[in-house]
Structure 1
Amino acid sequence: MKLLLLAALSLASAYAQETTAPDWLLEGTAPWQARDSQAEWVFKDQLWIGGGWFQSFAEPPRDVWSLGDGKEWKLIEKNAPWLHSDLPMNITFADKMWIMGGWYKGRLPGHSASNQVWSSNDGVKWEQATANAEWSPRLAAGLVEHRGRIWMLGGTENYYFGDDTSLKNDVWSSADGKTWKQETAKAAWSPRAYHQAVTLDDKIYILGGGNYVPTYHAKNDVWSSSDGVNWTCEAEKAPWEPRLWFSATVYRGRMWVLGGWSKDKDNFGDVWHSADGKNWQLLETKTCWKARHEHSVFVFKDKLWIAGGHARPLSSEVWSLSLPENWKP
């Protein structure tokens, strides 16, 4: 009888673990036109997106949308004043949404990168903090908040037409978005764009990235710094494959790497997490979104969210993942 009871308890425990395992939920398809490379924010208890990319032979969109209840998106502004909304840098900082840098006009004549900085507290009215920041015009850099300042890390000065000299590994910081201080002209990590940066445990982390054209290369290294100047390589080769155009965030005290693209493998649909940048684990779920790149990622209402991205074709899907309270990696 005792053995039967123990067996029943073991089965019940296994069933409970199975039913509480994390899984991705399709929240719906947003009304905004499918896109990738958009800006994204969590602001005033809402999810926001702005701008992005539809195709390389058209101006990028300048619309701003918000999602307050997890279900219904609302168009907040049809034509924001910023133009360079393809692969811009974005952050929520000092009770405002910020968008800066980025690319304009794809492969069309008159294309350009930007070093403009804009902010808004409602998504409708945007104030230009500066038309010419001290850092060179660029796109696809890392952008984080650390110790009360905005930090910009690397990026590229040219998208489709540049060379390896367009890539940067400089680090800049600002307390107000208007005045920027160069913390270092050459960080220890190699010049790169299309990477990600996050902050965890009072450190800035640089993850992967590389270059797109004319010389493609992708990385899966991980670097950390407490001051933005002195950097430590946490992993020369993380277990996730080298990639560009992925998304990353911090959720439940861990760094997360989601999706991305490489020239050899095309789109990725994997999800990895780490507490220290050295040791990474693959998150296994029964359901997952289709492999994609340049999608938005959010942490909202204790859930991990993704939206949009290039999933062949472009997507406007919105997915969420909630970790059970007792979840342990």
Structure 2
Amino acid sequence: MKLPVNRRDVLTFLAGAGTTAIIGGVGAEFIHDPDWIEVTPDEDQFEIRDSARGFIYQDKLWLCGGYMVGNVPRRDLLSSDDGINWTMVNPSTPFAAYSPITAHEGKMVATYPTVMTSVDGVMWQEHECTGDLPPLGSEKPILSFNGKLVLLTDKGNFILAGNTWKRVSSPFENRLAFRSVVHGGRIIVVGGALKIPNKVPERGYDKMTSLNEVWASDDPENPKSWERLAANAEWRDRMWPGFVSHEGWLYIIGGYVNQIGENVGNIWRSKDGGMWERVPTKHRPPARHAPTVFSHSGKIILLAGNTNAGTSVQNDIWIMYI
């Protein structure tokens, strides 16, 4: 369902759907059953893509790079106050496409192929780093955690303190297409796939074994700190899901189920990553993998991703109030 992005129209829709809206001086608090609303403006806000990096910096949402069909990379950087209206900040960033990027200690930090920082997204400074340099490549989540940067890779975890990298082993090496967030003082890792064939070859990528595990650590520099919270979570194994920590809950959204070679659009949530429950909604975005997901101002914002249909990669925008 696509709606106008006018705030009053959104409130009217929610009220008509049986939703109670309590309007405060600076915004609205919604008390209702979770549901998705499409708020894609009529005028495109950014080019179609999947696997774009999303982070929050200086109270703004930031969207960086991504993939286009035909392996055409995006290298732009955009910002938004509300997740709906986006402004181009830098059409051609100086770091590689798909570079891990996040906010850390008052700056934006990108790490591929070298570490670069910026305070505005326009001017970037390169930093020479030493130690166990991480492997080059994309699809590597990076998190700001306890004053350090943690880069999660299939070759181990790489911790950046100052300008020095340190490699530590992890229980989920040899794994791709997983997602991670910081939640409750721990790093949480979900899903993905091992780079080995399953006993029964999976229908999608036949040389991969997809997973529905959940791992957590409060000290990623200590390999023994990782705890497997779920070996076989309630949701089906999947690659490239949307994953976000939102108001005390973990949400996993959609993803690619390699065993059947299809995207899914269901939503699951958990307080701690151990036990999961499905979140029913009346409406939902088309099933997809590799979307960008934010938690912002009391709502979950999902945008872009790959639906494997039509143009495949998308630039639509959806919000869910919870």
Q: Same fold (TM over 0.5)?
A: yes
What's the counterpart of residue 232 of structure 2? 237
What's the counterpart of residue 192 of structure 1? 175
What's the counterpart of residue 268 of structure 1? 264
Quote the offset at 1:79 in angstroms: 1.1
Q: Alpha-carbon deviations, 1:102-147, whole Å to 9, x = none?
A: xxxxxxxxxxxxx422222212112223478711213222322222
- SS of the residue corresponding to residue 253 of structure 2 reads strand
Quote the offset at 1:173 in angstroms: 1.2
Corresponding pairs, count: 277
CA distance in 1, matches of 2:83, 2:187: 30
Contact 1:255–1:273 at 8 Å: present in 2 too? yes
CA distance in 1, matches of 2:100, 2:246: 20
What's the counterpart of residue 151 of structure 2? 152
CA distance in 2, matches of 1:78, 1:188: 38
Equivalent of 1:250 in 234, 245, 251: 245
Contact 1:261–1:292 at 8 Å: present in 2 too? yes
Quote the offset at 1:70 in angstroms: 4.1
Q: Give the TM-score, by structure 1 length.
A: 0.77
| Residues 128/262 of structure 1: CA separation in 2 closer, same or farther (3 Å cut) | farther
CA distance in 2, matches of 1:282, 1:24: 15
CA distance in 2, matches of 1:202, 1:31: 34
CA distance in 1, matches of 2:217, 2:85: 39
- SS of the residue corresponding to residue 321 of structure 1 reads strand
What's the counterpart of residue 171 of structure 1? 157
Contact 1:249–1:297 at 8 Å: present in 2 too? yes
- SS of the residue corresponding to residue 249 of structure 1 reads strand
Q: Which amino acid aligns with 2:69?
A: Q
Quote the offset at 1:291 in angstroms: 0.6
What's the counterpart of residue 129 of structure 1? 127
Q: Does the alignment pair 1:95 with 2:106?
A: yes
Larger CA Rg, structure 1 vs 2: 1
Quote the offset at 1:316 in angstroms: 0.5
What's the counterpart of residue 4 of structure 2? none
CA distance in 1, matches of 2:188, 2:87: 33
Fraction of identical pairs, as percent: 25
CA distance in 1, matches of 2:230, 2:158: 23
Q: Which amino acid aligns with 1:68?
A: D
What's the counterpart of residue 227 of structure 1? 219
CA distance in 1, matches of 2:50, 2:301: 15
Equivalent of 1:119 in 112, 117, 120: 117
Contact 1:99–1:119 at 8 Å: present in 2 too? yes
CA distance in 2, matches of 1:34, 1:195: 22
Q: Alpha-carbon deviations, 1:252-281, whole Å to 9, x = none?
A: 111111111123141111111111111001
Q: Does the alignment pair 1:180 with 2:171?
A: no
Quote the offset at 1:52 in angstroms: 0.9
Structure 1 segments unaligned to the other structure (5+ residues): 1-14, 102-114, 156-167, 324-329
Q: Alpha-carbon deviations, 1:154-200, whole Å to 9, x = none?
A: 23xxxxxxxxxxxx2x1221233x32122x23x22352111012222
CA distance in 2, matches of 1:233, 1:192: 15
| Residues 198/21 of structure 1: CA separation in 2 closer, same or farther (3 Å cut) | same
What's the counterpart of residue 193 of structure 2? 210
Structure 2 segments unaligned to the other structure (5+ residues): 1-17, 21-29, 196-204
| Residues 316/188 of structure 1: CA separation in 2 closer, same or farther (3 Å cut) | same
Contact 1:63–1:80 at 8 Å: present in 2 too? yes
Equivalent of 1:301 in 297, 301, 313: 297
What's the counterpart of residue 160 of structure 1? none
Q: Alpha-carbon deviations, 1:199-236, whole Å to 9, x = none?
A: 22222222111157672221110111221222211111
CA distance in 2, matches of 1:126, 1:24: 37
CA distance in 2, matches of 1:44, 1:309: 25
Q: Does the alignment pair 1:25 with 2:37?
A: yes
Q: Alpha-carbon deviations, 1:6-31, whole Å to 9, x = none?
A: xxxxxxxxx67897112112121442
What RMSD over aligned residues (CA atoms) do the two structures have, in Å? 2.3
What's the counterpart of residue 26 of structure 2? none
Quote the offset at 1:57 in angstroms: 4.5
Q: Does the alignment pair 1:49 with 2:63?
A: yes
Contact 2:52–2:66 at 8 Å: present in 1 too? yes
Contact 2:129–2:164 at 8 Å: present in 1 too? no
| Residues 57/71 of structure 1: CA separation in 2 closer, same or farther (3 Å cut) | closer
Equivalent of 2:77 in 53, 64, 83: 64
